[in-house]
Amino acid sequence: MRSHTLSVRTDPAVIDLLGALAYGELTAFARLAEDARLAPTLSGKAALSQMAAAEIGHYALLHREIGVRGGDTERAMAPFVAAIDAFHDSTRPSSWLEGLVKAYVGDGLAADFYREVAQFLDPSTKQLVLDVLADTGHADFAVREVRTATAVDPAVAGRLALWARRLVGEALTQSQRVFAERDGVAELIIDGTGDLAGVAALLKRITTAHSVRMQALGLST
């Protein structure tokens, strides 16, 4: 009889999942740091830079976890480089506000996905992931800045709502690409949620949380 932890340690799909998350964090860092240059003020630049820095904290956690499980972070990330790079290349913000919406919406979607995935992991890893996610709060400034801008010019809200829809669409496209190529990851999520109805419920929870964020930004449609 294998212990649950040992079984997790040796499941290549878990390493895959952690590798995908790790590369996601590493790229989120680089893109947020780049988008911070669009900031009209130095404090805006600092705020987005701080969001970027938080992503690297998550990366460090995932890197350690992959090592504990006997994996190699670089190898674990490799299969997901193309899909995640494609997401970012197709969603380059052309303005500071687009950058903020991407940071807030993207960070939120990623965090929700993390929280769901944490449920499939052994208790200590689960707690570690949830603890890291509790350490956010840099996103409030994004909400404030976007709400201020849309209050000044309501037409901005419509354009940003479209932009947010495009972000979600591209995220779904690239996720499907990953699931199609990596059967193990798809199975892990199906097994974790119980069945396809469980996967649908997971997607519903993530979609609902996204709508709440869009309302917080004042971009609900």
Residue type, 180: A
Between 81 and 86, CB nearer to a second copy: 81
Looking at the Cβ atoms of 8 and 33, the one nearer to a second copy is 33
Instruction: Give the range of 55-63, 141-149, 160-168, 195-203 binding a second copy by CB under 8 A.
Output: 55-63
Q: How far apart are CA 8 and CA 151, in angstroms?
A: 49
Contact between 67 and a second copy per CB under 8 A? no
- Is 110 a binding residue for a second copy by CB under 8 A? The answer is no
User: Is the Cβ–Cβ distance between 51 and 44 less than 8 Å?
Assistant: no
Among 29-37, 85-93, 100-108, 113-121, which window interacts with a second copy (CB under 8 A)? 29-37
Q: Contact with a second copy (CB under 8 A): which of 7, 10, 41, 176?
A: 41
Write down the least CB distance from residue 26 to a second copy, Å: 6
Distance separating alpha carbons of residues 217 and 148, to the nearest angstrom: 10
Closer to a second copy by CB, 84 or 160: give it: 84
- Site for a second copy (CB under 8 A): which residue of 9, 12, 34, 120? 34
Does 95 engage in binding with a second copy (CB under 8 A)? no
Among 14, 26, 103, 171, binds a second copy (CB under 8 A): 26
CB 91 to a second copy: min, Å? 18
**Total of chain residues touching a second copy, rule CB under 8 A:** 27
Question: Per CB under 8 A, does 88 bind a second copy?
Answer: no
- DSSP one-letter string for the chain: ---HHHHHHH-HHHHHHHHHHHHHHHHHHHHHHHHGGG-SSHHHHHHHHHHHHHHHHHHHHHHHHHHHTT--HHHHHGGGHHHHHHHHHTT--SSHHHHHHHHHHHHHHHHHHHHHHHTTS-HHHHHHHHHHHHS--TTHHHHHHHHHHHHH-THHHHHHHHHHHHHHHHHHHHHHHHHHH-HHHHHHHHHHHSSHHHHHHHHHHHHHHHHHHHHHTT---
Give least dist CB 97 to a second copy, A.
19
> Contacting a second copy (CB under 8 A), which of 7, 10, 46, 176?
46
- Two structure tokens written together for 87: 């997401």
- Contact in structure between 191 and 11 (CB atoms under 8 Å): no
Q: Which residues bind a second copy (CB under 8 A)?
A: 23, 26, 29-30, 33-34, 36-37, 41-43, 45-46, 49-50, 52-53, 56-57, 59-60, 63, 73-74, 77-78, 81
